[in-house]
A and B are shown apart, each in its own frame.
Chain A
Amino acid sequence: MTPESLPAARSAPDLQAEAAFKEWVRRIVKGVAELKALEAGQIDAVLDPATGSAILLPEAQAALRRSARSALGARDVTRNVSGPILTGALPGSRRTKAGRIAAVARATTPNCLLAALPAKEYERLLDGLEPVRLTYGEVLNEPGEQIRYAYFPCDCLVSLLTVVEGRRALEVGLVGREGMVGSRLALGFAASSVRSLVQGTGTALRIESARFLREFHRGPELQRALLRFTDALMLQVTQNAACNRFHVVEARLARWLLMTRERVSSLEFYLTHEFLADMLGVRRVGVTVAASALQRRQLIHYRRGAIKILDLQGLEASACSCYQQVRLTGLTISVR
């Protein structure tokens, strides 16, 4: 039984739901020390091996909500609240217009597409934007489904996957702070053509589709920015197709790491072999061999999914030529 099958525990904290949640926790937590700490009320979260996510206990969840509310107007709320139970609109996001604008303006690492807009168009968009925290593994859109929101990633990473025969998926594009998820709206389509999967936890700004379209038709600069982004995305997709056919896994992995680094603006990120295999359309063992080769050459450090780029220039030299075609230009990439 996963927490997803316990909706009652989240929405209506009645006794029955509480008992079900406790039962689920008891099934996961078995160690003596863990149980003792749990009984003493010293536990904040339980990690669910089935879904690979952290589930906050009700007390911790309530405390985080309280602190987020009291912090509103004083601190960046997007940094204070995390965890799958709170995923989605941040607490307090259904508040006054002024409050929402203030929270949006305070969001860290601004989205480059939004940042390039003239002040007037940006302010109009701000009115409809709200900061949300997106967590690893979350699906924003499925192919054929209506696009409810347009997302502008700030420091998260979203993969665009094409789904074959309803189950197998291959990455065709990667969107980070340089662009937007749901750009098909701008082309006049209401449904998504790809699966948008969050690959890097972080913050994004989202706006309802109808509201976005209204602003899109009103703002010539937003239209131009989105056309440029769509063109860049198309280039990425076509280059990916050629790359998957012609280049070896090691060079493709190097390119993929460099692209990720540009989008999350960091030399360190977390990616499992399994995920990389899905992204590159190869078997896990292929990723292991390629990652080990890059590690042997001291270009990256890879341990239990935690990747650190050690030699950026070396990695660029190892990447296939596709990287030069799709690399982002004009972005400031800070090294953390």
Chain B
Amino acid sequence: MARKGKKPPAAGPPVTTVIVMRLYVAGKAPNSIKAIANLRAICRRYLKDGYKLEIIDVCEHPRRALSDGVIVTPNLAKLSPGPASSVIGNLGDTDSVLAALGLQAGDIVE
């Protein structure tokens, strides 16, 4: 009698990973506004609802930013899933933002 093997995992929707990010900006300074707009566009296109974003104004919370190891803004930090990574600047270079978030240009969400 053939022994029954382990049951293969049930097929279902793939587990979606939520990307947790923190964007440090300086009030409404030009690069900060651009960074927010660029990041929102990337999130809309590549992540849809699969992300959590916290925006921190370093003018309001400078000590918090310093304790997080932030020296300049705008600064996008990906916190999870690991490994943690960061992108500095106005996030106009989509490829480097995607690379930091562990995504590829083809991962567009319809």
Contacts and interface: CB of A to CB of B under 8 A. Distances in A.
Interface stretch (A40-48, A224-232, A289-297): A40-48
Interface string B47-85: 000000000011111111111101111100000000000
Contact of B31 (A29, A44, A306): A44
B30 interface: yes
A54 B58 contact: yes
Contacts of B68: 304
19 contacts: A36-B88, A37-B89, A42-B92, A44-B26, A45-B26, A46-B71, A47-B58, A47-B62, A47-B73, A52-B66, A56-B29, A56-B59, A63-B30, A64-B28, A82-B26, A83-B26, A83-B59, A135-B59, A306-B64
Q: Which of A28, A31, A42, A46 has the most CB of B within 10 A?
A: A42
A54 B26 contact: yes
Interface string B22-36: 000111111110000
Interface residues of B, number: 31
| Interchain residue pairs A-B with the least CB separation, the first 8 | A42-B89, A45-B26, A44-B29, A82-B59, A60-B29, A37-B89, A44-B26, A54-B58
B80 to A, nearest CB: 15
Contacts of B87: 33
A63 to B, nearest CB: 5
Contacts of A43: 31, 72-74, 88-89
A211 to B, nearest CB: 29
A28 B69 CA distance: 12
A80 interface: yes
B59 A45 contact: yes
Contacts of A270: 61, 63-64
B62 A29 contact: no
Contacts of B70: 47
Contacts, number: 109
Contact of A52 (B63, B72, B74, B90): B63
B58 A45 contact: yes
B26 A56 contact: yes
A67 interface: yes
Contacts of A63: 29-30
Contacts of B28: 64, 67, 80
Nearest to A135: B59
A60 B63 contact: no
Contacts of B71: 28-29, 31, 34, 46-47
Given A42-B90, A83-B27, 9 more contacts: A44-B25, A44-B26, A46-B72, A47-B65, A52-B63, A54-B58, A83-B26, A270-B64, A304-B68
A54 B60 CA distance: 9
A305 interface: yes
